[in-house]
Amino acid sequence: MACLKCHLSLPVAAGVMLVGLPYSISLAAQWLYGWPNKPGYKKYIEALKPRRIYCLSRAVLETVKYLQYGRLYFQWKSWYKDAENHKHYEKGITFGRRGNKLDLYHPPNTGGSKDVPTPLVVFIYGGAWGSGERSIYCLLARQMAEELNATVICPDYCTYPKGNVLGMVQDIADCLVWAQESGPKFNFDKDNIVLIGHSAGLSGVYNIMDHYEHEQMRGVEYVSTMHKAMNGVENFPYYSPTEILREFSQDKLSRVPTFALLHGTSDIIVPVASSTKLSELLTSLSIKVSLYLLPRVDHTEIVTDLMVPDRRFYHAIYSCIKQEYRKLLGIF
């Protein structure tokens, strides 16, 4: 009897692992973040399709790798709370129509003193249009100020469900208006501004419909915040940089700034093709663009590895950023 019981428990255990666990994971994800956009009971039928269960479970399990950033999490938490570090930055400056906050980081050895105005870097973080906050990027902004010898600001912006993509764009525009007005006060050059963004922060997803199809392939299109923040699939062209550029007149194209695109070849969240296609489009429109494909770098590492110098890709990524930064500002 003992042997029979043991033999029966193995198939049961295998069934739980191969069927029960994936269904539990994917159903929990859909319950928390959104069911398929189908009427009535059909949303549950769609949610229970084996392919969706497999793909969504795989996508959820891939997030386990974020546990490797536990040490980094405590590093930035501690640094941001430490009052001693306030000498490096101005915390919680209010800007814009919605009263958002930004942090301003001084370049090294100035502490905000009235020397020659420095260039300004605006770093716009990502978070799938539904998460993120400026404090997470304090170490990145501090290192960027030092590496580029620039003033760096990191603004918060409204995210879904508090706002949609239009509101997010308005918030960043308000931040740039603040920068134009505040240069003399904080001793940065309002005429030398470089925007750097990651993921939903103006970087990576350049054709929204293409990315939606990629989300469908991964089974995450309904739990993703993207289509919700865009107010539906019908608005994807309106918010896609590639589509906007195709509609520009020659006069508007002549005022489009220079681009530098960095993309990790191991990125499974946003495929490399997103950047290569934008690079090709910009080139066809005679807009200056540089494209860097970074081997073995994934979607998260391209930003987390800018936070502390001992990260694996810190120097490789900053090398690309500094090269383009000097070109943009005419520094040789």
The dihedrals phi and psi of 264, each to the nearest 5 degrees, come to -80, 135
DSSP state for residue 150 in the 8-state scheme: S
Tens digits of per-residue pLDDT, 125-141? 999 999 999 999 999 99
- Give me 162's structure tokens: 């508090």
Amino acid identity at 55: C
pLDDT for position 3: 46
- Residue 8, pLDDT above cutoff 80: no
pLDDT digits (tens, 9 = 90+) for 36-91: 888 888 888 888 888 888 888 888 888 888 888 899 999 999 999 999 999 899 99
Instruction: Find, among 103, 101, 95, 100, the residue nearest to 76 by Cα.
Output: 103
* pTM attached to this predicted model: 0.89
pLDDT above 70: percentage of residues in the chain? 91
User: Per-domain residue ranges for the chain?
Assistant: 2-68, 69-329
Q: How confident is the model at residue 113 (pLDDT cuts 50, 70, 90)?
A: low
For residue range 220-249, list pLDDT tens digits in order: 989 899 999 999 999 999 999 999 999 999
Q: How confident is the model at residue 184 (pLDDT cuts 50, 70, 90)?
A: very high
The pLDDT tens digits for 286-319 are 999 999 999 999 999 999 999 999 999 999 999 9
> Which CATH number fits the domain 69-329, given the four candidates 3.30.420.40, 3.40.50.1820, 1.20.1740.10, 3.40.50.1010?
3.40.50.1820
pLDDT of residue 7: 53
Task: Label residue 16 by pLDDT band (50, 70, 90).
Answer: low
Q: Chain-wide mean pLDDT for the chain?
A: 89
Best CA proximity match to 175, nearest among 195, 203, 146:
195
Q: Assign residue 39 a region (left: φ > 0; alpha: ψ between -120 and 50; beta: otherwise).
A: beta
Q: How many angstroms separate the CA atoms of 115 and 117, rounded?
A: 6
pLDDT at 72: 93
